[in-house]
Amino acid sequence: MEKKSAYLRFCCFLTGLSYTLTRISSEQSAKNAKKYMGALLIIMLVWFFIGYCFATRYLHMGIVGGIIGGLLMSFIILQIERIIILSHHISTGGKVFRIILGLVMAILGAMIMDQFTFQDDIELRKVSVLEVRVKEAIKNSESDIRTQVAEIDSVLEFSNTRLFTLSEELQKRPVIVTNYTTSSITKDSVGNSVNSTTQRNTSVVDNPLKVEFDFLQNQITELNSKKFELVNSLTDLKRQKEEELKSATGFLDELTLLKEVIASNWVGMFVYFLFLFFFLSLELFILIMKLSDKESDYDKLVDHQMDVRIQMLQRLKA
């Protein structure tokens, strides 16, 4: 008995119904409270999952942030549904507003659920457009790097041509041979020439073009190294930008890709409208139950208490 009482108390706490009035009402009123509580739990759990997924995937809030997002979404749904449950007589305007709100929430819920359902298809679509996005993102940087590479190629072409010319020249004349003559005269104490000798000498030195040849070799090595670094930097830039675009998860971006995935296949359209109908039915579940239920003794007790209050206030005025 205590367990039943605790369960009924929890049902009343969740739905906002008065436990005191429900306890003294008929079994049908208790069943209504349990029925509304069951519907509430289903809706809250579904929206907790949606809130958790949205917070972790698109807001990047982590597990704790996802739980907070799920609880916040569940709390909002609880308050909205409580308004319906606690309404004794729902006006036409209230019905229309709840249907519109249910339709909006159903569309949002279907979109978020479809993004997780079609996640692999969206990733495949991302791959097909990733190369185009990478090229667009690094277009300016790639243009600058390619301009520098073209300039280096131009200098390398000139240097290689000059190096080839010098190589042929050095093969013909690796060294420069110079012949020269030296004379020496021996004089006596008076200053008259006594003896004179003449000597022929030969001087062998490296061709001065070898200095330019070595310089060009070093220059070509440095230019090739710089060109290699530039090409690698372009490759690294592409890879970095590709990783950034892959890791970036935008809600609108994936929504656009989702539209392309769904529109390209009738099965995708069917699944989307199936989710839409499911969420719309879920959102209007409690409203339809409330409208289809007959007035219970709980409602009559509430009306009776209100009538008694009004009579008391009228007597106080009199």
More confident residue, 251 or 310: 310
Query: Quick one: how far is CA 116 from the chain centroid?
Result: 14
How far apart CA 294 and CA 92 sit, in angstroms, is: 18
Q: What percent of the chain has pLDDT over 90?
A: 2
DSSP state of 291: H
pLDDT at site 71? 92
CB 113 within 8 A of CB 262: no
pLDDT tens digit string along 253-283?
677 777 777 777 777 778 778 888 888 888 7
Q: Return the H-helix or E-strand segment holding 187.
A: strand 175-187
Which residue shows structure tokens 């010098």?
166
Please report, for residues 97, 175, 184, 208, 211, the alpha-carbon distance to residue 205 in angstroms, rounded to integers and kept in the order given. 102, 6, 25, 8, 12
Whether 139 shows a pLDDT value over 80: the answer reads no
